[in-house]
Amino acid sequence: MRSILPCVGCANCCRSKSSFCRHAASEDAMTPAISIGLGGIAGWRVLQRTEARQIEITAKDAMIQRATGYFRENLTASTTAEDLVGDYRMLQVALGAHGLDGDLANKAFIRKVLESDLGDRSSLVNRLGDKRYLKLAQQFQTRDKAATREDMTQAYIQQQFQKRVGQSDESYRLALNARNELQTFATRASSDRTMWFEVLGNKPLRRVFEGAFGFSPSMGGLSVDRQVEEFTKASERVLGSSSFAKLGTAETVDKLITRFLALSQAQTNTGSNRYSAALSLLTR
């Protein structure tokens, strides 16, 4: 069962369990990986320089063009939630655009998400800790389907690019996702506390913060209020602020990701000298 928040101030069970989908697994096997050739911070800098070109190449991939072309042609104002979940090719793009590929087999659940009352705080989609579901429902329910088609297909291409990067180095995929997520957080009117709850519920984003702060996954065993307290204190200490208006700036995002990648690289290496070398990068 997925975790549902009883209210905006509680995120005890923010993490959703991913379902295994044989279709998705077979497609991943066919997806060409993007290899940078370097690891850690050095590879991240190369990835940043080549990202625009790599996304352009990804968008031109025949498999992705077929998927996005089909989605553009078939998502219309008359498309219902039942229609969408009943069409695997459309659902693949809609979920893939939000990084929710693991839910391809969970059609009944996704239909409930898409049909949720956005204005009712007690509705399913508003009680889910992972707000990617809310974004999915918001986009689907908008009357401007032309905008939805464009937004979802572009997001799908971006997610496919990230997936291909992740096949070579999962830490880079997490870093790309965190950068994009935090840029949107910085423009929102929600309280910082509310957005910290969302970080706890967004597993990929949470992993970057945990890694950068040196937190163990066992942190999840604490009460949610205590987790928020620990994350905000660590953010103040490591990043200089716990406000997402500051955390979403290019400078702070880079600081977060640099620290995350340096510590991730240190954990994959052996020997204290390598660990010290990685840590030294953080002070430069």
Structure confidence at residue 26 (pLDDT): 44
How many other CB atoms are found less than 10 A from the CB of residue 119?
Answer: 7
Structure confidence at residue 186 (pLDDT): 85
Average confidence (pLDDT) over 110-138? 94
Secondary structure tally for the chain: helices H, strands E: 16, 0
CB 140 within 8 A of CB 148: yes
Torsion sign (Cα): 209, 211, 215, 216: positive
How many other CB atoms are found less than 10 A from the CB of residue 142?
Answer: 12
* Top-confidence residue, 56 or 283: 56
Structure confidence at residue 8 (pLDDT): 37
CB 130 within 8 A of CB 202: yes
Q: Is residue 17 scored above 60 in pLDDT?
A: no
pLDDT digits (tens, 9 = 90+) for 57-101: 999 999 999 999 999 999 999 999 999 999 999 999 999 999 999
Q: Is residue 219 scored above 70 in pLDDT?
A: yes
Nearest Cα to 199, choosing from 212, 39, 258? 212
What is the band of 3 on the pLDDT scale with cuts at 50, 70, 90? very low
CB 261 within 8 A of CB 171: yes
Q: How far is CA 36 from CA 93, 185, 254, in A?
A: 26, 28, 19
Average confidence (pLDDT) over 163-183? 94
Q: What is the pTM of this model?
A: 0.79
Amino acid at 101: D
Structure confidence at residue 18 (pLDDT): 38
Chain-centre distance of CA 68, in angstroms?
A: 20
Which range among 93-102, 213-222, 228-237, 264-273 shows the weakest confidence by mean pLDDT?
Answer: 264-273
Which range among 58-67, 81-90, 212-221, 246-255 shows the weakest confidence by mean pLDDT?
Answer: 212-221
Tokens 């705080």, located at residue: 121
- Please give the mean pLDDT across all residues of the chain: 85
For residues 110 and 103, what is the distance between their CA atoms, to the nearest angstrom?
8
Residues comprising the chain, all counted? 284
SS3 of residue 128 by DSSP: strand
Q: Is residue 19 scored above 60 in pLDDT?
A: no
Burial of 199-238, coded b for 16+ CB within 10 Å and e otherwise, reads bbbbbbbbbbbbbbbebeeebbeeebeebbeebbebbeeb
* Top-confidence residue, 14 or 112: 112
Q: Is residue 12 scored above 50 in pLDDT?
A: no
Q: Is residue 218 scored above 90 in pLDDT?
A: no
Structure confidence at residue 7 (pLDDT): 40
* Top-confidence residue, 161 or 188: 161
pLDDT digits (tens, 9 = 90+) for 129-169: 889 999 999 999 998 999 999 999 999 999 999 999 999 99
Q: Is residue 174 scored above 60 in pLDDT?
A: yes
Instruction: Please report, for the chain, the start and end positions of each structural domain, with discontinuous segments joined by +.
Output: 39-168, 169-284
CB 207 within 8 A of CB 231: no
The CATH number, out of the four listed (1.10.10.60, 1.10.3700.10, 1.10.3720.10, 3.40.50.300), of the domain defined by the range 39-168: 1.10.3700.10
How many other CB atoms are found less than 10 A from the CB of residue 133?
Answer: 27
Q: Residue 145, CB half-sphere, CA atoms under 13 Å: how many?
A: 10
Structure confidence at residue 203 (pLDDT): 92
Supply φ then ψ for residue 122, to 5 degrees: -95, 0
Amino acid at 108: A
Average confidence (pLDDT) over 160-187? 93
Kindly report the CA angle at 252 between 262 and 266, in degrees rounded to 5? 5
Structure confidence at residue 30 (pLDDT): 55
